[in-house]
Amino acid sequence: NAGVTQTPKFQVLKTGQSMTLQCAQDMNHNSMYWYRQDPGMGLRLIYYSASEGTTDKGEVPNGYNVSRLNKREFSLRLESAAPSQTSVYFCASGTGTHSGNTIYFGEGSWLTVV
Amino acid sequence: AQSVTQLDSHVSVSEGTPVLLRCNYSSSYSPSLFWYVQHPNKGLQLLLKYTSAATLVKGINGFEAEFKKSETSFHLTKPSAHMSDAAEYFCVRDNYGQNFVFGPGTRLSVLP
């Protein structure tokens, strides 16, 4: 019962480097999400995908791109990392975009940009 | 945009005493509401959710929350705190069914 799996769990990047965070879910969920968590700010939505083939910006999309590769996978890319992107990143999946939708989270990816 | 307010950034209780974590939401419509718990360096686990059925919702580990539309509140309670309850708690609402909005979190400390 893997649920939502994110990789890598830890990563250190230099300013300007690029990287992709991978996320996969095995619950056959339609919706997938990427959040970032910063102290005192809760979780803020970066991008989400309501269904395979669609993506939408969330609250803090600048500096990120996403790809919904298929129903299972939703990746987050940092093209040119900045220290302000140091954060914990959480991928989540949910049953759909309707009332009653519940989301389930991965274990998180700790990213440090130096 | 919809919003969630958690009135306390930190709550400290003694083991065996009641827990109250407060949450208020913005009220353009009656949302789905959730409480999630996050233990240190872990992901978020669903405690309970409200989706317009019974206003008193029971969750895991003895937690419950009451939806009060007149007060736009969804406070989380537990009759008796346990050491293992020490964690960060997030109140969450849906955003027109499209995605989810998180409160800033409340850190619960449980003293022996």
Q: From B37, which residue of chain A is nearest by alpha-carbon distance? A: A105
Q: Do B94 and A104 touch (CB under 8 A)?
A: no
Q: Count CB neighbours of A100 within 10 A.
A: 15
pLDDT of B53-100, one tens digit each? Answer: 788 999 999 999 999 988 999 999 999 999 999 999 999 988 776 778
Distance CA B77, CA B96 (A): 26
Q: Do B104 and A40 touch (CB under 8 A)?
A: yes
Q: Which of residues 29-88 of A touch B (CB under 8 A)?
A: 33, 35, 40-45, 48, 50, 56, 58-59
Res A97 pLDDT > 70:
no
Which of B100, B92, B80 has its CA nearest to residue B4? Answer: B92
CB A52 within 8 Å of CB A10: no
pLDDT tier for residue A1 given thresholds of 50, 70 and 90? low
Of the two residues A99 and B16, the one the predictor is more confident about is B16
